[in-house]
Chains A and B, each alone.
Chain A
Amino acid sequence: MNLSVKIAGKTWRNPVTTASGTFGSGKEYAEYIDINRLGAITTKGVAPIPWAGNRTPRVAESYGSMLNSIGLQNPGVEQFIKNDMDFFRDIEPLVIVNVCGHKIEDYCHVAERLSEEDGIDMLELNVSCPNVTEGGVQFGTNWKLTEQVVQEVRKVTSLPLIVKLTPNVTDIEVIAKAAESAGADALSMINTLFGMRIDINSRRPVLGNIFGGVSGPAVKPIALRCVYQVARCVKIPIIGMGGITTGEDAIEFMMAGATAIAVGTANFANPWATIDVLEGMGKFMEKNNISDINSIIGAAL
């Protein structure tokens, strides 16, 4: 049975990675699961300098979903390298670092700095975070800005670039095509959907930041639709995510056109989620006599 896939010239031993921001750098989950079984690890967003993040409460729950307004708290690229590079060089999965910024120069700075390090395999440009006032989703909702960020970062790094898209747009295909033509090697989607909750007893928004990003099983149909739409209009590979909890969910995303998939919120409901998804995919393949996972990519298109 072959589970390995290829994205931007890099071979993934299997299509399972972690959704940025739900897995730290992998150290904490390594206390629960054998992270070496994963295809890749995608880190929390990294900026040029430390970001403090938003005020608390930063999370809330809703039916089959959660909201977060973490606000990309991160220690800055230098501290990130100090904290985590040794760990990355020790593990088997590919390492994808999620890159964030307020300005185009921020993305370039981080990408350039990370390219000097040995042990990072791909970069994921987060142009889709709904939880910061400057940067993030402002880039990802505007095809011209998306194009500019990708073009500029492309100039400073030879690492494969994944561009992470937001579902909070009128036409995701326009943004996807802009990223592709600007030189993205792959696309990942979806980031969280913009939402909120209100505490009816205190009559106040639950999140300190008022608004937050919705993720988890409840967003899966939307995420699938995005992957399917984009798969029809671009040639570069897609990493699908949004509510993936089981092997069947992952298979569904691959049939919609994803070459790899990420497990996010499901980790919170079950620290074993990534492994369960991986094993579930294997079981589905066995049951349906699928010898190569690549044969189902885009099967529903």
Chain B
Amino acid sequence: MKKVINAEVIENKQILHDVYDLYLNVGREQAAKVVAGQFLGIYTSSDAMLLPRPLSICEADAASGILRVVYRVVGGGTENIANAKFGDFLRIIGPLGNGYTIDNNVLSFAIVGGGLGVPPLLELSKRVRRAVPNAKIAVFLGFRNKSQIILADDFEKYADSVAICTDDGSHGFHGTVLAAMQLRSVFDMAFGCGPKPMLRALARYSAQSETPCYVSLEEHMACCIGTCLACAVKVQDGDEYVNKRACYDGPVFGAKEVAWE
């Protein structure tokens, strides 16, 4: 049976002025279940805030039972979570949702992220490297400017190349991740997570180049476990578009299936 877990905070450190790097001990059993692209529902310590905050799993270590979550403080819930100290406990549910499926027969991967969509792609890069040791993994990460860059060094461990792109050109490639990606060779498979315009562009690019592509979609959630229908995303099912639940059927969907409108 699935459980609500009291996860001990191992570390919760500020890495940018509004971004935190959280390590949680959820136990080996839970950590071993994680698929890259899944998320946690993290409850705040305040009774005034009822809903779990959906936050992606950035890394999962089955051996130690520790999960990593990288998040930006944008409101009351994430601010509350940012106040958790070493030794505090956070109530969590998860791993939740469907993550990325890695095709072992593919040799060249593009992994494309933007902003706070970048964290889950780290575990994904690790898993791709593990699943296909001789794969070519090209990572493209987009940020507003130099001061917003996160996790760039971590990706170096698994990727053959990590291209950092900034909107204002203050670091790396001046332009979008899609522009950077199109300068490079073709890929056999693409994975994305980030702002909707970025994912839409990635979907269009992969459709044109006939590259199988999977993206993680974000929607406001209440239950996080598939019952309330808050997180509806329009996705193709057979000949028609239907509402699927980002929390339970997703958050990862085939880019081809998503109604991008």
Contact residues of A with B, CB < 8 Å? 21-24, 28-29, 31-33, 44, 52-53, 56-61, 63-66, 68, 70, 73, 216-217, 265-272
CB closest residue in chain B, given A208: B220
Q: How far is the CA of A29 from the CA of B77 in the complex (A)?
A: 24
- Name the one of A32, A53, A60, A61 contacting B3, with C-beta atoms under 8 angstroms: A32
Tell me which residues across on chain B come within 8 A of A268, comparing CB atoms: 50-52, 222-224, 228
Query: 10 tightest CB-CB pairs across the interface, nearest first?
Result: A24-B227, A57-B220, A269-B50, A59-B230, A28-B226, A59-B222, A58-B230, A268-B223, A31-B2, A32-B2
Residues in B neighbouring A70, C-beta threshold 8 A: 228-230
Q: Is the CB of B48 within 8 A of A73?
A: no
Interface residues of B in 111-169 (CB under 8 A from A): none
Assess whether A73 is in contact with B4, with CB atoms less than 8 Å apart. Answer: no
Would you call B229 and A53 a contact (CB within 8 A)?
yes
Given contacts A56-B220, A58-B220, A70-B230, contact A269 B51 (CB under 8 A): yes
Number of inter-chain CB pairs below 8 Å: 95
Residues of B within 8 A of A28 (CB): 223, 225-227, 248
User: Is B31 part of the contact surface with A, judged by Cβ < 8 Å?
Assistant: no
Are B50's CB and A23's CB within 8 A?
no
- In Å, the complex CA distance between A44 and B220 comes to 19
Q: Kindly list 9 other residue pairs between chains A and B, CB separation below 8 angstroms, not including A24-B228, A58-B229, A267-B223.
A: A21-B229, A28-B223, A32-B225, A53-B232, A56-B219, A57-B219, A59-B221, A61-B77, A269-B43
Q: Which residue of chain B lies nearest to A265 when distances are taken between CB atoms in the complex?
A: B50
Partner of A66, one of B50, B93, B243: B50
B239 contacts the other chain (Cβ, under 8 Å)?
no
On chain A, the residues within 8 Å of B222 by CB distance are 59, 66, 68, 268
Asked if B4 and A271 make an inter-chain contact with CB atoms under 8 angstroms apart, the answer reads yes
Q: Is the CB of B227 within 8 A of A23?
A: yes
Across the interface, name the chain B residue whose C-beta is closest to A32: B2
Q: Chain A: which residue is nearest B228 at the CB level?
A: A22
Taken together as a complex, chains A and B put the C-alpha atoms of A231 and B259 apart, in Å, by 49
A138 to B77, CA, bound (A): 35
CB nearest neighbor in B for A52 = B243
- Interface residue ranges of B45-63 to A (CB < 8 Å): 47-52
CB within 8 A of B50: which of A24, A56, A61? A61
The CA of A241 and the CA of B224, in the complex, are separated in Å by 22
Interface string of B212-244 (1 = CB under 8 A from A): 000000011111111111111000000000010
Contacts of B52 in A (CB 8 A): 268-269
Given contacts A265-B50, A269-B51, contact A56 B228 (CB under 8 A): no
| Contact indicator A65/B50 (Cβ below 8 Å) | yes
Which residue of chain B lies nearest to A44 when distances are taken between CB atoms in the complex? B229
A/B interface sample: 18 pairs, CB < 8 A: A22-B223, A22-B227, A24-B226, A24-B228, A28-B223, A29-B227, A52-B243, A56-B230, A56-B232, A58-B229, A59-B230, A66-B50, A68-B230, A73-B232, A268-B224, A268-B228, A270-B4, A272-B4
A268 to B225, CA, bound (A): 9
Does B183 lie at the interface of the complex (its beta carbon under 8 Å from any beta carbon of A)? no
| Alpha-carbon gap, A33 to B227, bound state (A) | 14
Distance (whole angstroms) from the CB of A227 to the closest CB of chain B: 22
Once bound together, how far apart are the Cα atoms of A73 and B224, in whole Å?
Answer: 17
Please state if B225 and A64 are interface contacts (CB–CB under 8 Å). Answer: no
A15 to chain B, nearest CB (A): 21
Q: Check A73–B229 contact: CB distance below 8 A.
A: yes
Mark B68-93 against chain A: 1 for CB-CB distance below 8 A, else 0. Answer: 00000000010000000000000001
Interfacial chain B residues near A64, Cβ < 8 Å: 47-48, 50
Contacts A58-B220, A271-B225 given: A53-B49 contact, CB under 8 Å?
no
Chain A residue with the shortest CB-CB distance to B246: A56
| Assembly CA distance A270 to B93 (angstroms) | 9
The smallest beta-carbon distance between B56 and chain A, in angstroms, is 19
Please indicate the chain B residues that have their CB under 8 angstroms from the CB of A265 in the complex.
50
Asked if A61 contacts B49 (CB within 8 A), the reply is: yes
Nearest CB in chain B to that of A66: its residue: B50
**What is the CA–CA distance of A61 and B225 in the complex, to the nearest angstrom?**
17
Using CB atoms, name the residue of chain B closest to A28.
B226
In whole Å, how far is B217's beta carbon from the nearest beta carbon of chain A? 11
Q: A24 — which chain B residues lie within 8 A by C-beta?
A: 226-228
A276 and B53 CA atoms in complex are apart in Å by: 22
With A52-B243, A73-B243 in contact, is A61–B228 under 8 Å at CB? no
A23 to B228, CA, bound (A): 7
Q: Which residue of B lies closest to A70 (CB)?
A: B229
A23 to B227, CA, bound (A): 5
Question: Which residues of chain A are within 8 angstroms of B47 by Cβ–Cβ distance?
Answer: 64, 217
Which residue from B1, B221, B231, B243 sits with its C-beta under 8 Å from A32?
A: B1
Point out the residues of chain B lying under 8 angstroms from A73, CB to CB.
229, 232, 243
Name the B residues within 8 Å of A57 (CB-CB).
Answer: 219-220, 230
Chain A residues whose C-beta falls within 8 Å of the C-beta of B4 in the assembled complex: 32, 270-272
- How many angstroms from the CA of A44 to the CA of B226 in the assembled complex? 12
Q: Closest approach, in angstroms, between the C-beta of A245 and any C-beta of chain B?
A: 9
Q: How far is the CB of A76 from chain B (nearest CB, A)?
A: 12
Task: Kindly state the separation between the CA atoms of A6 and B93 in the bound complex, as whole angstroms.
Answer: 35
Taken together as a complex, chains A and B put the C-alpha atoms of A59 and B229 apart, in Å, by 10
